[in-house]
Amino acid sequence: MSRSFRVAALAAVAVLALGTSVPLPAADAPKPAEAAKPAEGKPIDIVICLDVSGSMNGLIDSAKIQLWNVVNELARIKPTPQLRVGLYAYGATKYEAKKGWVHKEVDLTEDLDEVYKALNALTTGGGDEYVARAAKTAIDEQKWSADRGALKIVFVCGNEPADQDKQVALADVAALAKQSGIVVNTIYCKYGHDQEIPGWAGFAESCGGRHVNIDQNKAAQQVVVKTEFDGQIIKLGEELNKTYVAYGKEGKAKAENQVAQDKNAAAAPGGAGGAPAAAIDRSMTKAGGLYRNATWDLVDRMKEKDFDITKIKEEDLCDELKKIKPEERLDYLKKKAAERTDLQKKIADLSAQRQKKIDEELAKKPKSDAEKALDEAFKSVIRDQAKAKGFGVAPEKK
């Protein structure tokens, strides 16, 4: 079996474990118009561990395409959860051997732009894939939510035998995960070595999680439908950037990173049909309730109960606010908030029209049973685990 087939399969699997590359039915699409409201739901912490050994560029590319789609899937949960995402890479010799070639890229954070920035910086390199070490490191290092109702998930995505680590036992990590209230899911690429599957599946089961493997010949193509609404949605997403009012020491850099990640999403590899899926999904995310930047944006910060513009130090204000009289600054922020809400509504409306068009096109080309199983299996991982924790989850479409 060729290495390229293995890479393509793993690429599709890893990110689809968090969501689906096939756009959601119109009735179930995220509702970006609710973005003006602060998140009030329970916490969801997700740490993604990606195998970057050897020729895993396809895995990374697929993750670049799918991250925003995954967030939009999570946005369907009501009330809107408090989402944090972390990222680890493992299996490359450039990382420290004493740490099992596991490297923390980003701690759990609400700053999705930082996660996407780290994802776009990942590169591959040969090495040993220590599944147990990757999961244990994520469990040990991260400051997981202390909320008893929180959903805490680790996804370990890779191939090769799951028990390569001779220092850290899978059983010990499973016990640690259960003790910590963290669910570990495993994603394995089936490439002719069926004898490796039980190790991955058994590890997930012992952690109280889900395991998924896939035939590489059925996961090479991402379904993408191009519509006349794509460009408008992307443009409006870029217009949203103008409604952000940076503050603090990192404000300017964060605003610049926002623009940089727009460009990264636009440059993400496209699937069949040529639609810039990542850029569209990112615009929808930016218009939704899970895209929160109160740590550097005053418009988001203004939603917090204790907000008082007069308490923000003058030196922490951006140049545009410094030029405005102190007594007029709050009105300026309210104006920006209104502009943002208007753009969010436009994106929501266009997204609904786009989804309708996509549904019509996909109906003309029904998926095979294998494709349906792939699509629905991965979506159900987060859906089922969220439902088990008491989150309000929309029923799965049959």
Summarised one tens digit per residue, pLDDT across range 277-328 is 899 999 999 999 999 999 999 999 999 999 999 999 999 999 999 999 999 9
Is the pLDDT at 20 greater than 50, yes or no? no
Check if the beta carbon of residue 11 is closer than 8 Å to that of residue 360: no
What's the sign of the alpha-carbon dihedral 148, 205, 290, 310? positive
With b for 16 or more beta-carbon neighbours within 10 A and e for fewer, the 283-303 pattern comes to: bbbbbbbbbbbeebbbbbbbe
373 versus 113: the higher-pLDDT residue is: 113
Q: Give the integer Cα–Cα distance in Å for 197 and 67.
A: 26
What's the sign of the alpha-carbon dihedral 339, 340, 344, 347? positive
R_g of the chain, CA atoms, integer Å: 21
Is the pLDDT at 188 greater than 60, yes or no? yes
Say what percent of the chain tops pLDDT 70: 79
Q: What is the pLDDT of residue 126?
A: 81
Q: What is the pLDDT of residue 381?
A: 85
Check if the beta carbon of residue 55 is closer than 8 Å to that of residue 3: yes
Q: Which residue has the tokens 């009030």?
A: 40
What are residue 184's DSSP bridge partners? 154
CATH class of domain segment(s) 3-219+367-388: alpha beta
The rounded mean pLDDT for the chain is 85
Both tokens of 241, joined, read: 């950037």
Mean pLDDT of 231-251: 98
Closest to 183 (Cα-Cα) out of 143, 151, 140? 151
Give the helix/strand (H/E) hosting 180: helix 170-180
What are the CA-CA distances from residue 25 to residues 74, 256, 265, 356 (Å)?
15, 33, 22, 8
Mean pLDDT of 383-389: 90
- For the segment 320-357, what is each residue's pLDDT rounded down to a tens digit? 999 999 999 999 999 999 999 999 999 999 999 999 99
Mean pLDDT of 228-257: 97
- For the segment 142-160, what is each residue's pLDDT rounded down to a tens digit? 999 999 999 999 999 888 8
**Residue 364: which pLDDT band, with cuts at 50, 70 and 90?**
confident
Q: What is the pLDDT of residue 72?
A: 87
Domains of the chain by residue range: 3-219+367-388, 230-362
Cis peptide before 79 (omega within 30 of 0): yes
